Chain A
Amino acid sequence: MDQILKERDRLLHRTARTFGLSFTTISLLCLVVPGAIPPESYLVVLPLYAILAVSQYFMGRSRALGWPAGVFVAGLAIIAVIAFVENRVPTPAAMSAVSQIAAAAIACVAIVLTTSRRRLVALGVALLLVIALTLFFTFGWPNPVGTVLLVILGWVLASIVGIWVNAGVPQAARRIASIGRAHRAERQASEMEAQRRQSARLLHDTVLATLTLLAHSGVGVAPAALQQQAADDARLLRQLRLGATPTPQSSGDYNLEPVEETVLGTTLESVKQRFGRMGLEVSWHGTGQVLLPSDVLDAFLLALAECLENVRRHSGVTEAHVTIVDDATTVRAMITDAGVGFTLDDVDSARLGFKESVVGRLKEVGGHARLFSAPGSGTTVVLEVPR
């Protein structure tokens, strides 16, 4: 609320500036019509116009009340000077210039004097002063009633602008606040929806595996099997979209058991088969019977599969070794190949999808990954997850 009030003040001040400068220009145009006032009096009037315009300009930039006061004083000074030099029979130009100043160029301060009760009082006083002083300065000029009416019109119009914007802001602010509340609810709902989709990890893992096969045009897999797998996955995604949280038991060759703890060995076997189909021979060493919580297992397997995928694509060899060891606190996998290797500094790990797919996944379950390689001496990745 506080912020929008600031914006409101800024808007009012800027409007006052536009309003004031426009009519100051009009007034000046009237005054520069040849013969409007004695030529030497321009020496006094023009600097006053400059002061007026500068005050109006800065009134648009700052919320201080000094600038409106400057507008007020400079405007009245202009009226006084013109009235002084034209005191008997004023030219129409002088009369127009004076009424523009009194009714509009000064009246722009009314726009910024509408924001509080105190300012409104100041507005009333200012209007009365302008009327009284204008009548006083221009005493003896024709049609004083017309002048007063015009001044009142100008000030009333300016006040309407100020008051109306002022009154419109709380209304808008209330509605914005209610939109904000609705948005907060929407954000929470969308957050939950995203969590739901993200937490369907088993589903996404099988979908990702199938997409991986498809990305290689499905070469090396029996078309019928792949079609069946795609149909299963599409069905699961449809269920997810319609609001359920499917937990697939298995998909294709994958064994995806949604139980609290899963034996690592059985799932490792399916990973091995999958890579075997794609031309990478994976040999397992070490323990095969490790129990892991299912979310840790998911992350572990996905990271492992990513590493093997990198071996398959980049190492230039068709064989990889995976050694699984475990102790009381951690399960560790070492993926080793005897391929071309690379200089760690040369290859951005992001390029291998390492950061996103491996490190990110493991980090989420409290694990981490390390990468060792040198050109010509193969690559070793160590993955660790807590038990």
Chain B
Amino acid sequence: MSFPNENTLGAAITASNKRSLLPGGPASRARRQENQHRASLGTAFIGIGAALVVGVRAIYGFSWFVSLWGTYPQPALALSAWIVLIATLVTIFIVSRVIGDHLPDWIYLAFVALLAVVIVLDILAVWELHDFGGHATASLTAAMALLIVITLRGPVDILVTSGVLGAGILVAMVLSTPLTVETTPQLITSLGFAVLPVIIGVSVVTGFRRMVQIELDRVLVQSTISAPRFAVGMMASEELARLDLAAEELLDSVATGRNPLPLEPKVASVAASLATELRLHLIEGRRETWLYHAISESEMLGRSVALVDKSSLAGLLDANQRDGLLAAIWLLLSDNVKTTTDRTVNVQVGPITSAADPAIGQKLLVPVVITTTGVTRNRVDPSTWDAMRRVGRYSDSTQDASLRVDIECFVDNPADM
């Protein structure tokens, strides 16, 4: 919709109060933060899985250690490395279960320091053998043990720590072991097994969080399909409450004389813009349909969906058609692996073309046209078509090398209801 660049009182709508009318105001920001927090749900379980992986790896490493016992020049050092490692792993596992979803800095640093101690002890234990790859055990497990806290710290923390530990091990390798055809492959293998699992783990956790985020977004937006034909939306409601409060405060300050009359120009312009925003909210809110709200409230849809629905016809769709349309738009976009890809969807609802008014009881034909950019016909998820079918009879074609779908959507005539 278009906003007047000047309100009826002559005060220009400034950038700041104009922004608050649009999605992205304080209300949606708060919601986004909440979502980020919620995205951690389910990761506690993933954390247990990661601990299990570390456990299996530790058992494997320890059995190697036992089988190599006789070859160590200083078995006591290697054993102490294992003792420290096991104690650390058990402690951090228990602590992380108790603490919940974020590890405080000092615990994390203490954990990393203990891992470093293990690595140093193990390196000293095998130094004289000059074959790090063949004999180091505890240090490799320790480098991988970062997986235990993988859900409790940000990916950057974990990757940086892993890089530092890996670099330390690499330096120790190069200094202690002559690089020959005999030893190099084992060094590469050892380093790979120490560092790669952490990197893979970070990608799993990041992917899992993203998945939860997307699903959450979808489920929250889906609540719009049961909305009435016109709705104010979550944000508008909060905005209206905010405007009412601001007006109350302003009027109160005038009433008590805190702002003496006649008002300063600055206060007067505040009053002018409040009046305009309030007026717009009182009128505008009711004219928006569920689809507008769904798109403006969703992180994913808001980024790449444009809606043209001049007569607010989307409000006429029944719940099943709405669900189908939303799912179809969602599926067209959800292959969007990277946020940088320029895949967009343009949804045009209406206008109703048939000149003659339909008879009573006859359904109204609302054409829905979905045009896209960057969506090729053969990359579309098959279930998209099922979703489209729920909206109405559709025909698909290609326009500008991207998908275009025309849907004939029959809705109840509002005049009959």
A190 within 8 A of B: yes
B365 within 8 A of A: no
Give B275's nearest chain A residue, CB to CB.
A211
Collect the chain B residues with CB atoms within 8 Å of residue A234's CB.
248, 251-252, 255
A156 within 8 A of B: yes
B227 within 8 A of A: yes
Taking the closest CB of chain A, its distance from the CB of B5, in whole angstroms, is 7
A125 within 8 A of B: no
Give A167's nearest chain B residue, CB to CB.
B45
Q: Mark B209-239, 1 if CB is under 8 A from A, else 0.
A: 0011011101110111011100110101110
Pairwise interchain contact A29-B188, C-beta atoms closer than 8 A: yes
B200 within 8 A of A: yes
Pairwise interchain contact A215-B220, C-beta atoms closer than 8 A: no
B70 within 8 A of A: no
Collect the chain B residues with CB atoms within 8 Å of residue A360's CB.
283-284, 287
Q: Which of A153-189 contact B (CB under 8 A)?
A: 153, 156-157, 160-161, 163-165, 167-169, 171-173, 175-177, 179-180, 183-184, 186-187
* Contact A168 B268, CB 8 Å, known A198-B282, A218-B262: no
Pairwise interchain contact B251-A157, C-beta atoms closer than 8 A: no
Query: How far is A248 from B407 in the complex, measured between Cα atoms in Å?
Result: 49
Choose among B183, B200, B232 the residue that contacts A22 (Cβ–Cβ < 8 A): B200
* Contact A92 B185, CB 8 Å, known A165-B208, A175-B41: yes
A119 within 8 A of B: no
Pairwise interchain contact B219-A183, C-beta atoms closer than 8 A: yes
Pairwise interchain contact B237-A241, C-beta atoms closer than 8 A: no
Considering residues B42, B60, B186, which has the most beta carbons from chain A within 10 angstroms of its beta carbon? B42
Query: How far is A96 from B185 in the complex, measured between Cα atoms in Å?
Result: 6
B182 within 8 A of A: yes
Q: Mark B36-73, 1 if CB is under 8 A from A, else 0.
A: 00100111011011001100110010010000000000
A106 within 8 A of B: no
Query: How far is A99 from B192 in the complex, measured between Cα atoms in Å?
Result: 13
Taking the closest CB of chain B, its distance from the CB of A304, in whole angstroms, is 13
Pairwise interchain contact A356-B280, C-beta atoms closer than 8 A: yes
Collect the chain B residues with CB atoms within 8 Å of residue A10's CB.
211
Taking the closest CB of chain A, its distance from the CB of B6, in whole angstroms, is 6
Give A180's nearest chain B residue, CB to CB.
B219
A273 within 8 A of B: no
Q: Which of B8-16, B115-123, B346-354 binds A?
A: B8-16
Pairwise interchain contact A153-B263, C-beta atoms closer than 8 A: no
Pairwise interchain contact A215-B268, C-beta atoms closer than 8 A: yes
Pairwise interchain contact B184-A15, C-beta atoms closer than 8 A: no
Q: Mark A226-241, 1 if CB is under 8 A from B, else 0.
A: 1110110110011011
Query: How far is A309 from B226 in the complex, measured between Cα atoms in Å?
Result: 40
Q: Mark A97-127, 1 if CB is under 8 A from B, else 0.
A: 1011000000000000000000000000000
Pairwise interchain contact B204-A198, C-beta atoms closer than 8 A: no
The prevalent SS among residues of B at the interface is: helix
B250 within 8 A of A: yes
Pairwise interchain contact A193-B237, C-beta atoms closer than 8 A: yes
Taking the closest CB of chain B, its distance from the CB of A301, in whole angstroms, is 14
Choose among B232, B255, B265, B381 the residue that contacts A191 (Cβ–Cβ < 8 A): B232
Pairwise interchain contact A219-B251, C-beta atoms closer than 8 A: no
Query: How far is A180 from B219 in the complex, measured between Cα atoms in Å?
Result: 5
Considering residues B248, B269, B286, which has the most beta carbons from chain A within 10 angstroms of its beta carbon? B248
Collect the chain B residues with CB atoms within 8 Å of residue A223's CB.
261-262
Query: How far is A226 from B265 in the complex, measured between Cα atoms in Å?
Result: 17
B385 within 8 A of A: no
Pairwise interchain contact B279-A179, C-beta atoms closer than 8 A: no
Taking the closest CB of chain B, its distance from the CB of A24, in whole angstroms, is 11
Taking the closest CB of chain A, its distance from the CB of B329, in whole angstroms, is 12
Pairwise interchain contact A215-B271, C-beta atoms closer than 8 A: yes
Q: Mark A246-278, 1 if CB is under 8 A from B, else 0.
A: 000000000000000000000000000000000
Pairwise interchain contact A218-B8, C-beta atoms closer than 8 A: no
* Contact A217 B218, CB 8 Å, known A11-B211, A356-B4: no
Pairwise interchain contact B46-A165, C-beta atoms closer than 8 A: yes
B241 within 8 A of A: yes
Give B240's nearest chain A residue, CB to CB.
A197
Collect the chain A residues with CB atoms within 8 Å of residue B215's CB.
3-4, 7, 172-173, 176
Query: How far is A128 from B248 in the complex, measured between Cα atoms in Å?
Result: 75
Pairwise interchain contact B211-A193, C-beta atoms closer than 8 A: no
* Contact A91 B251, CB 8 Å, known A3-B215, A160-B53, A356-B4: no
B244 within 8 A of A: yes
Q: Which of A66-74, A318-326, A345-353, A375-383 binds B?
A: A345-353
Choose among A160, A180, A215, A230 the residue that contacts B49 (Cβ–Cβ < 8 A): A160
Give B45's nearest chain A residue, CB to CB.
A168
Taking the closest CB of chain B, its distance from the CB of A61, in whole angstroms, is 9
Pairwise interchain contact A351-B197, C-beta atoms closer than 8 A: no
Query: How far is A309 from B239 in the complex, measured between Cα atoms in Å?
Result: 26
Collect the chain B residues with CB atoms within 8 Å of residue A330's CB.
none
A76 within 8 A of B: no
B364 within 8 A of A: no
A387 within 8 A of B: no
Query: How far is A298 from B203 in the complex, measured between Cα atoms in Å?
Result: 59
Pairwise interchain contact B279-A356, C-beta atoms closer than 8 A: yes
B272 within 8 A of A: yes
Choose among B11, B208, B256 the residue that contacts A11 (Cβ–Cβ < 8 A): B208
A207 within 8 A of B: yes
Pairwise interchain contact A215-B286, C-beta atoms closer than 8 A: no
Collect the chain B residues with CB atoms within 8 Å of residue A33's CB.
181, 184-185, 188
Pairwise interchain contact B4-A184, C-beta atoms closer than 8 A: no
A212 within 8 A of B: yes
Give A190's nearest chain B residue, CB to CB.
B237
Considering residues B10, B247, B272, which has the most beta carbons from chain A within 10 angstroms of its beta carbon? B247
Pairwise interchain contact A197-B262, C-beta atoms closer than 8 A: no
Choose among B5, B183, B211, B251 the residue that contacts A207 (Cβ–Cβ < 8 A): B251
Pairwise interchain contact A350-B4, C-beta atoms closer than 8 A: yes
For the complex with contacts A7-B211, A172-B211, A193-B241, 16 further pairs of A-B residues with Cβ separation under 8 Å are A92-B186, A160-B56, A168-B42, A168-B45, A172-B215, A173-B215, A190-B232, A198-B285, A198-B286, A208-B278, A215-B9, A217-B264, A233-B247, A234-B252, A350-B3, A352-B4
11 contacts between A and B (CB under 8 A): A14-B207, A30-B189, A149-B63, A157-B56, A161-B200, A179-B38, A198-B232, A216-B268, A217-B263, A351-B4, A357-B283
5 A-B pairs with the lowest CB-CB distances in the bound complex, closest first: A164-B49, A172-B42, A231-B255, A180-B219, A353-B8
Interface residues of B (CB under 8 A from A): 2-11, 38, 41-43, 45-46, 48-49, 52-53, 56-57, 60, 63, 181-186, 188-189, 192, 196-197, 199-200, 203-204, 207-208, 211-212, 214-216, 218-220, 222-224, 226-228, 231-232, 234, 236-238, 240-241, 244-245, 247-248, 250-252, 254-257, 261-265, 267-269, 271-272, 274-276, 278-280, 282-287, 327, 330, 334, 381, 383
Interface residues of A (CB under 8 A from B): 2-4, 6-8, 10-11, 14-15, 18-19, 22-23, 26, 29-30, 33-36, 91-93, 95-97, 99-100, 149, 153, 156-157, 160-161, 163-165, 167-169, 171-173, 175-177, 179-180, 183-184, 186-187, 190-191, 193-195, 197-198, 201, 204, 207-208, 210-212, 214-219, 223, 226-228, 230-231, 233-234, 237-238, 240-241, 306, 309-310, 313, 348, 350-353, 355-357, 360-361, 364
